[in-house]
Each structure stands twice: as C-alpha cells, then as structure tokens.
A and B are shown apart, each in its own frame.
Chain A
Amino acid sequence: MNSSWRLAIKMVAFRRVRFSVACSALGFLFFLSAAQIGLLVGWIDTVTAIVVRAGGDVWVVAHKTPAFDYGTAIPEQRLDEVRSSPNSEWAEPLFMGWMFLQRTDGRRVNIELIGVGDACVGGPWRMAAGNVDCVHEPRSIIVDELYQQQLGIERIGDEIEIAGRRAVVRGISQDVRTLTAAPFCFCSLKEARQYDLRYRSDEITYVIAKAKLGVDPEDLRDSLRSELSGVEVLTATEFAQRSAAYWMLETGIGVTVIITAVLGFSVGALVTSQTLFGITNDHLPNFATLRAVGFSQAKLVGIVLTQSLILGGLGTLVGSALFFAAAHASARTPIPLETTPLIFSCLVVTNLLVCVASSLLAIRTVLRIDPVAVFGGQG
C-alpha cells in the first residue's frame, strides 16, 4: 500500500469506534437515499409496465389521457384505420377500466380491468400458472400472484363476480404490479365490454401499433396523427413518460421520495463533515509536525480528501450491500426496490462527491495550521 494512503487510512481509523460509527451511519444514509430512488425506479416501472411490455411502438389514446390508468373510450374504427395505415406492421385493441370485483366471501375490491384483443397484446408478460391465451375462454379472468390474497383467490378455478357477472380464474400472472391499490386483472376485450356498461360494443380504450420494419416509431406516430381524427397518437415511450410524470409529479409521490433522498445525502454530508472536522482537530499537532518536516499544504489537503473518500467509499459499500439485500428481498413484493446500472452509478458518484465536498471545513482547518505549533507548549 502506498504510504500516503496508509497515513490517511490509519489516521482516519485511529479511533476505531468513531470510525465504525461514522461508516455505519454513512452506510445507512446511503442506503436510505438509494432505497428512496429505488422506490422511485420501482414505481416508475410499475406505472409504465403494461405500456412498455406490450411491445408496441405507438399508442392511440383518447384526447388528454393523463396516464395509462385513466384511459377512456375511443371508436374501434380507429383500430381498423391504424391497421390499414401503410406504416403499421400490426395493430391491436386494448380495454382498460376501473371495476368492482366481488370476492367469494362477498367483499368488494376495486380493480383495474384490462381487456386484450386476440393477440393478447398488453396482457400479462409472465405467468405463474395457466396460459395467457386462457383469457379467450368464456368468462375467463387472469389475476396476479401478488394480489391473490387481496382478491380472495386461492387457486385456478375460483369464481368471483365482476359488475354482477360471474367470472372464473383461469390463469395467474406474475409481476403485474399496481400503484393504486387496485390490482390489474385481465380478460378478453369482448368480456370487458360486457362488464363495463359505459362502453359500447364498438368502443375500445387504446390502439397499440407496431411500425413496419425500417419505419421509426416517430414516423408512424406522425403519419397516424394526420390520418386519425379525434384521438391523440403517442409513441410508447411518450405514453410511458406521460404516465410516469402523472404519477410521480402530479400526485407528488415521486417528489416526496426525491426529497427524502436529498435529505439522506444532506445528513450524510453533515456526518462526513463533522467526522472529518473532528479527526482533523484531534490530529492538529500531527498535521503541524508534518508541515514542519516538509509536507506541503497541498499534501495535507490530499490526506483529508483521501480520508473523505475512505469514509464515503466505505459508506457507499455498506449502503450498497444493504440496498442490494433489500432489493433482493423486495423483488417479489408489490413494492420492489429497483435500480439500473446508470442510476446506481449516479448515486455512487453523487455520494462520493458529497463526501469530498463535505471535507471543506476540515480542509480549511488544515490550511490554517501554523507549523510553528510544533514547538507548542514551550512558550
């Protein structure tokens, strides 16, 4: 090990207890921040999952649809128009509506019902039991594993009622989460329109379209915009972003977690700053000695910066371990902590920068040290 690193490490870790407490606190605070952002990423994933996983390039939606969860009826004729567009490879209908599901025990639960077309586009992407195609069987419904208990469903074959009509659970999906406390349930488009009396038999909620090979989603969107009237045409990315923005920004829940994350970083900055300042003050005579025996101010600043990186690095390490353990443990729950390599790298870099910036007070102290202090106590 390089001797300057060793000097910095041994000085910062000289008082073991303080050092361990600081590292643990920093680890916990990084975990707190990372977990908040992890929640955010998980939520964004949740509110965009169906749009993203449907695999379409373009979505045709009713005017002013704020999010996927708040679609409203458009004429099914739009579907035929999209299908006949020269730029579309395929187009599929999708229904979504808020409904009441009555459990076997009579309790009523709010659900978001999704009705899929023949190709099951916009349906569940992973099944725990049964097959996606089972939605086309009469009175069939698919519910998600995560919400089975909430819906009072024990196994395939259980019967429930939706809007007074009997339905049979024929499949159980996986990882279709909801942010709204109303679980997603899937049926066929035909059945969905029979449950939801607000819809006529020639109405749907969305058209999902795929661009022909070599046609950009934006080009398909633009051509459909000029061809279709009375609807809005968005790329899948735009619709996902609009849904995420609605839930995270308009409802304010995303802002809350970001504020908590910032708070985590700020308290981390305070802990780092106080720890380094305390250590620097404890070692003032040693810094003065180093100055006297020929260490430049830049070298002393280097020692403090190294120490801030050691604290920040260890805190990040501890916090990351906690985060990934929590992410693993929450992966199969309705509220998972998720991250991406890019987002996590940004968190790590932010944390290290915050720690380095927090060494300012300690650096100022070190710069003020007068090497004559080595003769201190002799008058």
Chain B
Amino acid sequence: MKAVLECASVRKVYGEKTLAQTVLDNVSFSMVPGDCAALLGPSGSGKTTLLSILGCLLTPTEGTLTINGMSAFPKSVIPLTEFRRRYVGFVFQQAQLLPFLSVEENLSVVAKNSDLASHDRKGRIDILLDRLGMSEHRRKRPGELSGGQRQRVAIARSLLHRPAVLLADEPTAALDRKNGEAAVDLLLEEARAESTALLVVTHDTRLVRKFDRVFHIENGRLEE
C-alpha cells in the first residue's frame, strides 16, 4: 500500500550556535492508510516536536516530509496551512474547543473551512456525533461538558474532513483512566473505520497493546 505519511532523515534543532539543541535526529519512518501507531518517550524527548512537524505546524531543520504523496518539506507544493486543512487531523491534550460556540457550531465552522461539499457537511457532523455518542449534547457549549465529552467532540472535529493522517498529542493526559481508555478506543475505531493513519502520543503503557505499531523516541532517535 502507498504511504500517506513519509518522513526521511528529519532533524530538528532549536536555537542557534552554543544554545543549539538537537531535539530530533535522523528520524525516518512511514505510515500507510489505516496504520495505528503509538509514540512513546520520556518528557522532553521531542514527541510534540515530531507531531508538530508531521502536522505541518513546524518546519524541520533538515530532512524530507511527504504527506499523501505531496512534498511538504523541503519544498512544499501548497501552503502548509493547506496540508492541515486537507490532510491532517489534530487531537490535543486539551480539547481546545471554541468556548463560545456550541458543540455543533464548533464542528460546522471547521467543516465549512474544509473541502467538504455543503450538502455533505451536516450529514458528516450528524454521523460523527452519533458514532461518538454526543448527539444529545450537540447544542451545549464546551463549558457544559465533561472532559471526556469535550475530548470526544475534539475527536469528531479532527475526523470531519476525512484526514489522511490523524495526530494526537497525549489525548488522554487530561482524562481519568476510564475516559482516557475510551478516548483511545474511539480514536482507533474511527481511524480504522476511515482508513486514516493514526499516530498517538501516550504515556499510558497499558494502552500500547491496542496499537499495530509502537514507536519509541529518546535522545532524538526514533525506534520502532
């Protein structure tokens, strides 16, 4: 199968000269549609940095990055925002929903910004809310939801535009054990259902067995 995410010899150095700190060193790997991988590593090992690079939020110092067959680095054919808009879905540690919009509105502003056809948007939102068990809360504001419920909405938001790559940075960190596990299950379920390549940063080693692949990162090196 053709890779949807491919990075080769990625290096990331923060700072300059004497203050330079190499956070990622020669990171290479690829993922195919439906691939579900966990990313483990101690705090400060560069997990967030790697995810930011894969999600086109941050440019690497060296290396190449290809998403959905298109080069994002070193030469990008379309603006990096476009990669995020079309191909990448994000789930963060905090749900990061817009507090002034209802659940449904949080999804519809993102759907409107995506390439989803207008007749497709409402149905897509309905299906995702339904699958994630949030239909009855669609008119609530994020402030009226529990942490687990908010994270479900964030998962729905990340999947709306049918991304090729779904990146989750410690999505369970703000949740209790039960809700954390439920969130990871949902991510895995949705990624498999939609053939999305999923990469989840987690500290919870007990969840690791649910994934097809496991990456370890330490001292800037990535190992599978």
Contact = CB atoms under 8 A, between A and B. Distances in A.
B15 to A, nearest CB: 15
Given A371-B57, A379-B44, A289 B113 contact: no
B113 A294 contact: yes
Interface stretch (B33-41, B62-70, B101-109, B212-220): B101-109
B153 to A, nearest CB: 13
Contact of B86 (A289, A294, A299): A294
Residue in B79, B86, B110 whose Cβ sees the most chain A Cβ within 10 Å = B110
B108 A3 contact: yes
B25 interface: no
B108 A11 contact: no
B100 A11 contact: yes
B109 A4 contact: yes
Interface string A231-246: 0000000000000000
Contacts of A371: 57, 84
Interface string B39-60: 0000110001001100101100
Interface residues on A, range: 20 to 34
Given A286-B98, A379-B44, A372 B57 contact: yes
Given A3-B105, A372-B57, A294 B92 contact: no
B59 to A, nearest CB: 10
Most buried by A among B79, B84, B108, B157: B84
A292 interface: yes
A10 B113 contact: no
Interface of B: 43-44, 48, 51-52, 55, 57-58, 79, 81-82, 84-86, 88, 90, 92-94, 96, 98-101, 105, 108-110, 112-114, 157-158, 161, 169-170
Given A292-B92, A375-B52, 9 more contacts: A291-B81, A292-B96, A293-B90, A293-B113, A294-B161, A295-B113, A371-B84, A375-B48, A378-B93
